[in-house]
Structure 1
């Protein structure tokens, strides 16, 4: 058996790492995959939520350090029907149901927030998620009133890195 040159061994090791990373990337799961296979490939989800019709949402969040939340919806038969990276600025206006969603629906869609805070201009809690728009770091803010209802949302720049540098 011929010996691998040092650079070839490094390349082969790198390829193994890349392929292992792809196997654990939630957005690589395709519809039709079984829930069992999804769990085997990705491991335990960060959240599990029941769906109407008997299905389940497997949620894979990279919060607090990351920028993605992927919802994998599984039907009652145990098959993946959709895979969605939900922290997508183009989707917020369509997905967020102001004056309709309650905080449990926010959790089931976006998972646990990066942080929660209060502001003087709103009677309630502001939940915040980090995401990227192209390569820009951004924040999604969802305002939840004391009764648990979403009252508004907005996006803004993620200034955390600027605070760390100062």
Structure 2
């Protein structure tokens, strides 16, 4: 009975990974304007909390300046929301891939590598898909961020599994 439950859990992870891929594909099909969260953020953060603290942060991402001065308060906050979404979705994809494949491949390091390569490959294809969508720009830096999200989840899965084996 426990074995059947583990099999259904493994399949659940694969289905979760596929669901994330469908959501990412749909998201990449939308223009920036369709995805923009500026109006939502302006309602939720109407008092512009931490604006003074955030005003001291500035850096370049993909050759463009990221600061409150360059993007405005809500555009600056949205930048972090969007990049956080990149990291989180690929964190879920990498972790789900690892957990779903672990007992199929049966070798932790190989499972980690396959899961990471699959998530990174999907990130690259997703950025290519964005290139085909109007009003979107594919960024190599986003593929790197996505890859780091997937790797983080996979490494955490490996650490937890090794810890549980002790």
Question: TM-score range, shorter-chain basis?
Answer: under 0.3
* TM-score where L is the length of structure 1: 0.25
Structure that is richer in helix per residue: 2
Task: Please tell me whether Structure 1 or Structure 2 has the larger radius of gyration of its CA atoms.
Answer: 1
Higher RCO, 1 vs 2 (CA within 8 Å, ≥6 residues apart): 2
